[in-house]
Amino acid sequence: MIFLKKLMVVLSLLFVLQSVFAATPWDFLKIPTQIAGIINPLVMGLLFLVSLGLLIVALLAFKKKGSKRLMLVAGAFGLFFIKSALGLIDLYVSPGIFMNFAVQGVFDLLIIGAFAIALLKK
């Protein structure tokens, strides 16, 4: 726990120093972007497992209650699982070719739409 606090202090300090001495307004994003790139395989694997768990829980809840809202929620988590599975495959097979920002945006729109309909439906 102490190591994580020290790591966060060091990273925060580097972030602040780089933003102070940046040549362009977005230079302060270089370090966080590099860190995100380094931990991307770990994050993608974690997203895959979490989305699988949420899909299973949503399907069990739908099976128990049979509600149309739960069906939409399960569908949204199913889309989230498919998105994370394709992202993980894309990471190792063809980095960035078939799961580009446009495809991810379509998935996000469908997921948000399913959640919105489930939330707003009477």
What would the pLDDT profile of 43-80 be if each residue is shown by its tens digit?
999 999 999 999 999 999 999 999 999 999 999 999 99
Q: Which residues make Cβ contacts (< 8 Å) with residue 82, sequence separation at least 6? A: 107
Q: Tally the domains of the chain.
A: 1
- Burial label, 88 (beta-carbon count in 10 A; 0-12, 13-18, 19+): middle
- Burial label, 18 (beta-carbon count in 10 A; 0-12, 13-18, 19+): middle
Domain that holds residue 93: 2-120
If you count DSSP H runs as helices and E runs as strands, how many of each does the chain have, helices first?
4, 0
* Lowest mean pLDDT, pick from 11-15, 46-50, 114-118: 11-15
Residue 97 pLDDT grade (very low, low, confident, very high; cuts 50, 70, 90): confident
Taken in order 29, 30, 35, 39, the sign of the CA dihedral is positive
Cα 38 to Cα 9, 43, 49, 65, 100: the distances in Å are: 19, 10, 19, 42, 18
How confident is the model at residue 20, as a pLDDT? 65
